């Protein structure tokens, strides 16, 4: 149900609401959610209600938190602009995967829309 275009549309609408200061304590307020639902449905010709959009928000936040946990307080890492992911030694990746197996998915491709997700979720 969530193709790349729909996710990007959802994120851009949420970013606009965040920049309009319709977010407090890391969450969109009621007015923002009303705007998100209307704009998303208008742009995508879908008829989503609050719950699936809120679930997508939560899912994106978890992915962002996982991604940032990889690079938080790390130095000496490189960046692969083709794969859009971190360049690090096999040992570094093995250590990170051992800490949390879910990070393995970011070894070959990074988190999409990271700049916009930073706007939504960075404190």
Q: How far is CA 43 from CA 36, 40, 49, in A?
A: 10, 5, 14
Contact partners, residue 29, CB within 8 Å, separation at least 6:
22, 23
Supply the pLDDT for residue 12.
Answer: 97
State how far the Cα of 61 lies from the Cα of 27, in Å rounded to an integer.
10
Supply the pLDDT for residue 81.
Answer: 86
Supply the pLDDT for residue 24.
Answer: 82
Q: Mean pLDDT of successive 10-residue segments in the chain (123 residues)?
A: 93 96 88 96 95 96 93 84 88 93 92 94 85
Q: How far is CA 123 from CA 88, 105, 118, in A?
A: 27, 25, 9
State how far the Cα of 67 lies from the Cα of 121, in Å rounded to an integer.
12
- Domain positions in the chain are 4-121
In the chain, which residue ranges form alpha helices assigned H by DSSP? Answer: 4-19, 30-44, 50-71, 90-99, 114-121
State how far the Cα of 59 lies from the Cα of 81, in Å rounded to an integer.
25
* 45: region left, alpha or beta (phi > 0 left; psi from -120 to 50 alpha): left
């Amino acid at each position: 149900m969530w193709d790349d275009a729909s996710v990007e549309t959802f994120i851009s609408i949420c970013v606009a609401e965040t920049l309009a200061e319709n977010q407090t304590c890391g969450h969109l307020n009621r007015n923002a959610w009303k705007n998100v639902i209307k704009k998303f449905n208008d742009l995508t010709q879908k008829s989503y209600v609050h719950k699936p959009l809120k679930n997508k928000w939560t899912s994106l936040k978890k992915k962002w938190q996982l991604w940032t946990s990889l690079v938080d307080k790390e130095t000496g890492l490189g960046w692969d602009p083709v794969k859009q992911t971190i360049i690090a030694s096999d040992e570094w990746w093995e250590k990170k995967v051992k800490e949390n197996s879910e990070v393995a998915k970011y070894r070959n491709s990074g988190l999409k829309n990271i700049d916009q997700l930073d706007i939504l979720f960075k404190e």
